[in-house]
A and B are shown apart, each in its own frame.
Chain A
Amino acid sequence: MSKIIDIILKLGKVDRRIIFLIIAIAVLIPLLNPIGLPVKPTSGTQQVFDAIEALPEGSKIMVSFDYDPASKPEMHPIGIAVLNHVFRKNLKVYIPCLWPAGPFMAQDALKLAGTDEMGKVYGEDYVLLGFRPGNEAVVKGIASNISYLYTIDVYNTLIDEIPMMEGIRNLKDFDFLFTVSTGWPGTVEWLQYGSDPTGVPIASGNTSIQVNEVIPYVNSGQMVGIIAGMPGAAEYETLLGRKGTGRAGMDAQSIAHLVIVLFIIFGNVTYYIERKRAKKTF
């Protein structure tokens, strides 16, 4: 018995590089050989899906891309899934960005969401307004008067020459607001300076870690719902009946989480044994 305990203790002092290796394997194997674990939509994701589904054809939706490549693996599947949904519903999509890398993310997401396959035309079905510095002030500017803030889009086209910008003055002209956000500035700023003052319903896609910060607003009824991290993206893809990177990543995330939990349990077992031995020694 003491030999087994010694082995456990020895394993407990394992070099962290071994832990890194195990995590790498745990992530890599399901990515290469997907298990296909079932994805069940949670209430938050379902609420966002239902809200967008309920919008009539031709409704105007603002989808803000507020993240950069650091959080791309988690946020991109959300952006792509939501864009795919709004294009299927034939909604008009307007994309501003509070982050400098936002336009790059949005452009890539538009391509992956299937704009070409669905025959969507730039300027008629969607427009990429791009990044403006100013954080909260940008949201406030959009809520007040878009033309003061955006005179050209990301491709240097005059806003007045873009057909779908006709009749758009401020945020009140929109039917729905969705933010794909990974931190500041993002969802909270859109809510405080955009949605709340204008009454335009808002939902968001956030990193799992940001959900804690945003979920009180859903609970208070100020937000429609949240798509929470990669699991949220996978749930949204399930609701759409679409295979995307969110669902593909969920197997890897599941196994990685399970491995981390096993590490924690194992770490506590060794900690318990060590403490018991220390007590006996004294």
Chain B
Amino acid sequence: MFWKRQVPLAIVFIVGVLTLFGWFITHDTIRSFIEDDATQWYDVIASFAVILGALNLLKLQGQKVLRRKKDWQYSVLTILGFLLAFFAGFMFRGGHHITITNVGFSPEEVAQVISDKTNVEYEKILGGLKELPEGDEETLDKSYMRMSKAVTLAEELRQAGAEVNIRTEKWGSHLLSEGTLFKWMFDNVFTPLLATMFALLAFFVASASYRAFRIRNFEATLLLGAGIILMLGRVPIGSTISTWFVAYILVLILGIVIGSLLKNRIIALISIIGGLLLVTIAGTLSGWPIDKPAFLYLPKIQEWIYLYPNIAGMRAVMIGIALGMVGTSLRVILGIEKSFMGEK
């Protein structure tokens, strides 16, 4: 119990207090601990956490498959995906490059072989080979995932008179290099899958806003108005909508509001006609500028919403979160909060 409970609590207390008060104490050792050592400890622990996370994923998904829990088939896919990524990352590199050190007496023949195999224009390759300085080397753009393919091409190039070497991508850098299995998986599996998931949002947002953005009460109306202004004001089409068009819409909305409040159609009609006349006169006198008066220009209104009501709300949220974090951190440091040890 001592090792499982008291020791972890003591470590958290000492490190927590040191890190917290270190910001207020100018002492080289403490400062160095906070700036360098503690940060490095965290990095090392985070690296190990990646391994633990991977093992945990395998354990949980494996249990799901073995116990035939609901939708266990997806867990099989997860495990296969994990193993494939592991294989591509740690066991199979690919990325075999052909390097030409000397084209011999027949650069035309060498260029022809390369052009046939890589589908690059013959003239372009030949130009590059002819310009290859003595003692220099040229690496072909195309790299091969399988060694056997690279060897076959190298052999053909040698028969054409060239001196060639095969260079394989280093472990580590193979993750980002063309022609490796890992990079191929990233470009052709991971990227399209993630992009598809994110792109689906557009459709769901459209459908959800159609069904949920309703003028049910005052708050919902405010949300709806702000949403429409932001959606149009943020994109170029918003800057093409004239302020006078917005003014006409506002007059109509005002007429509807007056009509509903006073329950009098004549007053509503008069206010709408009066408003429309006023806007028309003002527009004619000012020459209908698209962005004046600025307070009716959608890009300006959206900027105002971002800079004032939005910032006010976000600051309140951020201060609230910060206070909550201070409270939780103190609870952890003082040993009141023990959920990180699995206790309630």
Contacts and interface: CB of A to CB of B under 8 A. Distances in A.
Contacts of B199: 73
Contact of A135 (B46, B176, B202, B306): B46
B198 to A, nearest CB: 4
Nearest to B171: A156
A70 B197 contact: yes
A250 B235 contact: yes
Interface residues of B, number: 58
Contacts of B198: 70-71, 73
Contacts of B326: none
Interface in B285-309: 299, 303, 306-307
A40 B194 CA distance: 31
A199 interface: no
A21 B120 CA distance: 40
Given A20-B207, A261-B232, A141 B39 contact: yes
Nearest to A251: B236
Nearest to A256: B202
A141 B43 contact: yes
Contacts of A2: none
Interface in B181-234: 183, 186, 190-192, 194-195, 197-199, 202-203, 205-207, 209-211, 213-215, 224, 227-228, 231-232, 234
A264 B210 CA distance: 5
Given A156-B172, A208-B234, A215 B43 contact: no
A33 interface: no
B210 A263 contact: yes
Interface in A140-174: 140-141, 144-145, 148-149, 152, 154-156
- Max chain A Cβ within 10 angstroms of own Cβ: one of B36, B39, B199: B39
A271 B215 contact: yes
B307 A215 contact: yes
Contacts of A42: 299, 303
B170 interface: yes
A148 B236 contact: no
Contact of A144 (B39, B214, B237): B39
Nearest to A40: B239
A216 B224 contact: no
B97 to A, nearest CB: 14
Contacts of A70: 194-195, 197-198
Contacts of A19: 203, 206-207, 210
B91 interface: no
Contacts of B39: 134, 137, 140-141, 144, 148
A253 B231 CA distance: 10
Majority SS of interface residues in chain A? helix
A69 B236 contact: no
Contacts of A267: 209-211, 213-214
Given A70-B194, A133-B49, A23 B306 contact: no
Interface in A216-256: 216, 219, 228-229, 231, 234, 250-251, 253-256
A254 B235 CA distance: 5
B176 A103 contact: yes
B148 interface: no
Interface residues of A, number: 67
Interface in B280-333: 299, 303, 306-307, 310-311, 314-315, 318
B215 A216 contact: no
B159 interface: no
Interface string A29-55: 000000001111011000000000000
Contacts of B310: 212, 215
Nearest to B43: A134
Nearest to A153: B173
Nearest to B198: A70
Nearest to A131: B175
B35 interface: yes
26 contacts: A23-B203, A27-B202, A37-B240, A38-B240, A70-B194, A73-B198, A103-B176, A104-B186, A137-B42, A137-B43, A141-B40, A144-B35, A148-B39, A155-B170, A216-B318, A253-B235, A254-B236, A255-B237, A256-B206, A257-B231, A260-B209, A260-B210, A261-B232, A263-B209, A264-B228, A267-B210
Given A229-B234, A234-B236, A257-B234, 8 more contacts: A38-B239, A69-B191, A71-B198, A103-B176, A156-B172, A208-B234, A212-B310, A260-B205
Interface of A: 16, 19-20, 23-24, 27, 37-40, 42-43, 68-73, 101, 103-104, 107, 132-135, 137-138, 140-141, 144-145, 148-149, 152, 154-156, 208, 211-213, 215-216, 219, 228-229, 231, 234, 250-251, 253-261, 263-264, 266-268, 271-272
